[in-house]
Structure 1
């Protein structure tokens, strides 16, 4: 069972990594530009349109896909961690 979850976790991680990195970096840069008045040569509105998926015309589904991808990674990761596995009783040594 863990082997199949590792396979799914690896595939899902590769697929979801680019949108998540893009979302994180543009979110951080937008904060830097707006709150700290950092001039990087790119307007905050453009960064925000990338952050929300508006530039790709995916603003309605982009956050949903990011969220579902993260939930999938959390689910497979927690399953592999053994936190929810059967507890085995340790035999006390007498």
Structure 2
């Protein structure tokens, strides 16, 4: 194994360790982590599956593949959790002062 590959494997393990807490405690609203998988060895990424707490049907789960490299830096486990929260909840625009004219 190269140093680069070992670094990715180690990072995937750290991410898995953090996300395992969200199997029983929701990561986002009612969404729990249903699985964490490494991506193929040629891909510096991790795959995370989200769904309802007791959901196992594949058509009711959402899988995300998250690249671990950003330029020369690796995303931290907390970066991955934050990305999942952001992507899953979507963009929301809040208007502070919305008055009809």
TM-score normalised over the length of structure 1: 0.30
- Name the structure with the higher strand share: 2
- Name the structure with the higher helix share: 1
TM-score normalised over the length of structure 2: 0.28
Higher relative contact order at CA 8 Å, sep ≥6: structure 1 or structure 2? 1
Q: Between Structure 1 and Structure 2, whose CA radius of gyration is higher? A: 1
